[in-house]
């Protein structure tokens, strides 16, 4: 629809800086629009602009519109409901609220307090990327609004924007900040004494890696690599830097050799009006704000100095842990062994895990491990399949030392809803213990066995395992790691449950490693566990390959998973051999042309037993002894030429909706013209 002059004049009379906009670009129609961040347009200007009937209208926020501020809920407004529940209903009723074309929301108000520049209030990992979920449009910002096509007011109107007190505005912003899923922004250090961010237990270092890097590390190459532009040095020695994406105008930050001070509110991951030490800059740009990982990397690069390590003694805890009485020591004749243990331990996840066993899940950072963990917990709590593998029903405890309780409270219902279950079905079967900010170690569980035993947990998930390591323990020491797994075995026996440990991959190209070599730390972690599951990135964006080594089950074939927020779903149409970073060998000199093979493929299609596309490609490889690339191309040519058909079948198991099956065309009965 086109915006009328009357609508624009109504906004102007309400004291709003109103401008024509271009809907497709979500921007003002005029390039010189910043003029109206300082003054309201005149009636003459508004009439001239809107006489052309633009397809969108926008409002400038901030002082020019009476300290107007807009809370913008992005990503289809996924956090709007949770935010609304945290806000006093009487306060919420005052706001002007509108729906946006993407399903998001705008909450609009004026404030007695001066509006800040645009603020990012809540962010979270989506599709393996950090996205802003709630932000403000404040001083110098703008937003498109109703009656632009797709925008609709659901409460209030622009003629009567409410004026809130400073305390009421703070309440709205704090409710939004409480939904943030990322680590809190680093404290702003003073210009004379930059903060030295913590890098772990101080006792582990004579010189902390972060402190050392803040003294002698160079952040300039890191800034340049991330798109920051060096503009020069002022007479006082301060360097001037311009943020990525800004090609003209003044600087966005200064660096005095110690503190990188950011002015811009559009310089994520930095916050406007904050100063950062060199270590903080490194952590945010190179490690996504993970200070522990940053310290570990810097230590490997020669920064910091470890304190002499003392071996971690777990014998006292192990001895004091009450477990069922063990059989008599000494060798047992096989006949007695079979008689004493006639059955395997009860299965928890078919194909993967039994009660009393331990399973590792290893994945790269920011892969969506916590979403996968929630899905696993849900599958066990409901006794349903996990990526096609049946689970036995049982209570689950998630010990999470990375997420805030607010984040867990938001994520779990989303996964439950996406899987089609009512929250009531699992409300008493999944328990969560958020330890962020009060981290405990694996040692602490020994003192809580009697407290946990009455719950009857069948699965305990520790996410992430590296944060639960005992103080002073070295994850690279095989003896220490083996001792920790032995201790977990005792916990599992005492609670009659299984443990799942979430861990991260080592650095480097994971596609070239064997399954048991994927995972940071000592190699004994894969040998000490009963099941070792890894996720490696697939060549197709947003997909991973899940591979495993199991001890008490037959081997499991690799499974491809596709990310569809908030779920990982099984996708058998993908080729599990196509790992990111894996170089595929060129087609052999003796390989036949794929076109030649394509014409023959009807010969190996079994209509009575259609198979997935990936399985069929493997069959082509083996039948004609060709490289995978040749086989895949031949199949694609055959499908395009209608020699064979690749179609989806209905009523597939959960997570298999995208599975494609190879068949013959309907008009081809498989019988020749003579009826033989």
Per residue, what are the HEC states of 37-79?
Answer: HCCCCCHHHHHHHHCCCCCEEEEECEHHHCCEEEEEECCCCCC
Task: Report pLDDT for 72.
Answer: 96
Tokens of 529: 């566990």
**Concatenated DSSP letters of 271-336:** PTTEEEEHHHHHHHHHHTT-HHHHHHHHHHTT-SEEPPPPPP--HHHHHHS--PPPPPSS---HHH
CA–CA separation, 520 vs 501, rounded Å? Answer: 13
Task: Report pLDDT for 120.
Answer: 84
Task: Report pLDDT for 280.
Answer: 92
Q: Please count the other Cβ atoms lying within 10 Å of the Cβ belonging to residue 172.
A: 24
Task: Report pLDDT for 621.
Answer: 86
Residue 464 and residue 519 in contact, taking contact as beta carbons nearer than 8 Å: no
Task: Report pLDDT for 194.
Answer: 32
Contacts of 430 (CB under 8 A, 6+ apart): 377, 378, 381, 395, 396, 398, 412
Q: Please calculate the CA angle 184-188-194 and round it to the nearest 5 degrees.
A: 125
Task: Report pLDDT for 52.
Answer: 85
Kind plus residue range of the DSSP H or E element containing 645? strand 645-648
Task: Report pLDDT for 675.
Answer: 35
Task: Report pLDDT for 4.
Answer: 92
Report which of 440, 526, 442, 447 is spatially closest to residue 488, judged by C-alpha positions: 442
Task: Report pLDDT for 652.
Answer: 44
Report which of 208, 178, 181 is spatially closest to residue 277, judged by C-alpha positions: 208
CA–CA separation, 360 vs 373, rounded Å? Answer: 12
Mean pLDDT by 10 residues, the chain (676 residues): 90 95 86 87 92 92 94 94 95 96 95 82 82 90 94 94 90 88 48 34 72 91 91 85 81 87 80 84 88 85 75 53 51 88 93 94 84 94 95 95 88 93 93 78 79 92 82 73 87 93 75 70 76 91 91 90 93 89 56 78 81 83 84 82 71 45 57 34
Contacts of 640 (CB under 8 A, 6+ apart): none
DSSP state of 513: S
């Amino acid at each position: 629809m086109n915006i009328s002059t009357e609508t624009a004049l109504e906004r102007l009379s309400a004291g709003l800086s109103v401008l024509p906009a271009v809907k497709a670009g979500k921007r003002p129609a005029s390039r010189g629009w910043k003029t109206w961040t300082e003054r309201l347009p005149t009636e003459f200007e508004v009439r001239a602009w809107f006489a052309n009937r633009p397809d969108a209208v926008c409002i400038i926020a901030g002082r020019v519109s009476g300290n107007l501020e807009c809370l913008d809920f992005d990503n289809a407004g996924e956090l709007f409901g949770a935010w609304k529940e945290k806000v006093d209903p009487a306060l919420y009723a005052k706001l002007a609220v509108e729906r946006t074309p993407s399903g998001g929301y705008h909450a609009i108000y004026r404030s007695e307090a001066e509006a800040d520049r645009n603020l990012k209030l809540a962010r979270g990992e989506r599709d393996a990327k950090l996205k802003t979920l709630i932000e403000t449009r404040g001083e110098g910002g703008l937003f498109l609004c109703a009656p632009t096509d797709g925008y609709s007011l659901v409460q209030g109107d622009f003629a009567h924007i409410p004026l809130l007190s400073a305390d009421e505005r703070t309440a709205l912003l704090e409710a939004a900040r409480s939904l943030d899923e990322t680590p809190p922004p680093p404290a702003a250090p003073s210009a004379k004494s930059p903060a030295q961010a913590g890098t772990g237990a101080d006792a582990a270092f004579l010189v902390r890696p972060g402190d050392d890097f803040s003294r002698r590390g160079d952040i300039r190459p890191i800034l340049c690599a991330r798109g920051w532009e060096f503009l020069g040095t002022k007479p006082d020695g301060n360097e001037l830097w311009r943020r990525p994406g800004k090609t003209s105008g003044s600087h966005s930050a200064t660096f005095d050799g110690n503190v990188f001070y950011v002015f811009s509110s559009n310089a994520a991951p930095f916050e406007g009006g904050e100063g950062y030490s060199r270590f903080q800059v490194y952590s945010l740009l190179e490690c996504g704000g993970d200070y522990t990982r940053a310290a570990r990397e810097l230590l490997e690069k020669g920064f910091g100095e470890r304190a002499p390590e003392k071996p971690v003694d777990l014998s006292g805890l192990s001895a004091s842990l009450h477990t069922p009485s063990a059989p008599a020591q000494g060798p047992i004749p096989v006949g007695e062994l079979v008689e004493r243990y006639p059955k395997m331990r009860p299965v928890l996840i078919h194909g993967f895990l039994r009660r009393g066993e331990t399973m590792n899940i290893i994945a790269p950072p920011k892969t969506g491990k916590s979403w996968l963990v929630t899905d696993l917990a849900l599958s066990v709590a409901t006794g349903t399949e996990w990526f096609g593998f049946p689970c036995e029903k049982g209570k689950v405890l998630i010990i999470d030392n990375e997420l805030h309780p607010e984040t867990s409270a938001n994520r779990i219902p989303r996964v439950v809803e996406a899987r089609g279950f009512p929250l009531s079905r699992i409300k008493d079967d999944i328990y969560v213990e958020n330890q962020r900010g009060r981290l405990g170690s694996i040692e602490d569980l020994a003192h809580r066995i009697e407290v946990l035993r009455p719950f009857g947990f069948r699965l305990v998930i520790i996410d992430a395992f590296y944060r639960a390591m005992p103080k002073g323990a070295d994850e690279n020491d095989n003896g220490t790691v083996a001792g920790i797994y032995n201790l977990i075995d005792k916990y599992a026996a005492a609670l009659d449950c299984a443990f799942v440990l979430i861990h991260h991959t080592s650095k480097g190209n994971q596609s070239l490693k064997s399954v048991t070599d994927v995972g940071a730390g000592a190699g004994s972690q894969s040998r000490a566990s009963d099941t070792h599951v890894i996720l490696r990135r697939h060549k197709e964006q947003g997909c991973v390959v899940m591979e495993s080594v199991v001890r008490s089950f037959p081997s499991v074939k690799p499974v491809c998973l596709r990310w569809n927020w908030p779920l990982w779903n099984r996708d058998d149409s993908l080729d599990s051999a196509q790992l990111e970073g894996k170089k595929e060998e060129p087609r052999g000199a003796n390989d036949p042309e794929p076109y030649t093979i394509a014409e023959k493929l009807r010969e190996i299609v079994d209509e009575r037993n259609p198979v997935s596309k990936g399985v069929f490609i493997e069959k082509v490889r083996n039948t004609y002894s060709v490289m995978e690339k040749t086989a895949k191309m031949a199949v694609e040519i055959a499908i395009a030429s209608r020699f064979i058909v690749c179609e989806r079948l209905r009523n597939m198991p959960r997570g298999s909706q995208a599975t494609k099956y190879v068949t013959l065309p309907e008009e081809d009965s498989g019988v020749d013209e003579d009826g033989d």
